[in-house]
Amino acid sequence: MRTIWLDMDGTIANLYAVPNWLEKLQNNDETPYAEARPLVRMATLARLLNNKQRHGYKIGIVTALAKNATKDYDEKVIKAKIGWLARHLATVKFDKVKFVPYEYTKNNVNAGNDILFDDEERHLNAWTGEAHHAKEIIEIIKNLP
């Protein structure tokens, strides 16, 4: 059973458009993760993910925590990201949610034939399954068998 893995920051959440996002993260302020606007039509994405789940796919989130973060800050970031998912993709029941260290190789969650949507070339290039740039997310998911 294949898993469709979605990155959050820069893929479905527009973290990098939040004013002063980097400065805030460097000051252990998790609010940019909560304030980020969606990068795709979330109703469409939710409908597609739910449809694919009914047809045998598993749905997962694999998202990095902040760079050089403390354990306390990681916990705040996780809470903010879970809140974001609950707000923007409330109808999707994720099979797997992985919050990973910034330096983590996301391919470690890949069962071998899984699908990744991400905005970072390093993750796309290291993925040994099917990997797609974030911009293609709706079209690719729509056309999965």
Compute CA distances 21 → 18, 56, 86, 135, whole Å.
5, 37, 21, 21
- pLDDT tier at 75 (50, 70, 90 boundaries)? very high
Query: Which amino acid appears at position 35 of this protein?
Result: E
Residue 68's pLDDT is: 87
Q: What's the whole-number mean pLDDT along residues 67-93?
A: 97
Residues 33-54: pLDDT tens digits?
999 999 999 999 999 999 999 9
DSSP state of 42: H
Q: From 70, 79, 72, 114, select the one nearest 99 (Cα to Cα).
A: 79
Measure the CA–CA gap between 31 and 138, rounded to whole angstroms: 27
31 φ/ψ sector (left φ>0, alpha ψ -120 to 50, else beta): alpha
Going along the chain from its start, the domains and CATH numbers come out as: 3-142 (3.40.50.1000)
- pLDDT tier at 1 (50, 70, 90 boundaries)? confident
- What count of other Cβ atoms lies within 10 Å of the Cβ of residue 60? 19
Whether the predicted pLDDT of 143 surpasses 90: yes
Whether the predicted pLDDT of 129 surpasses 90: no
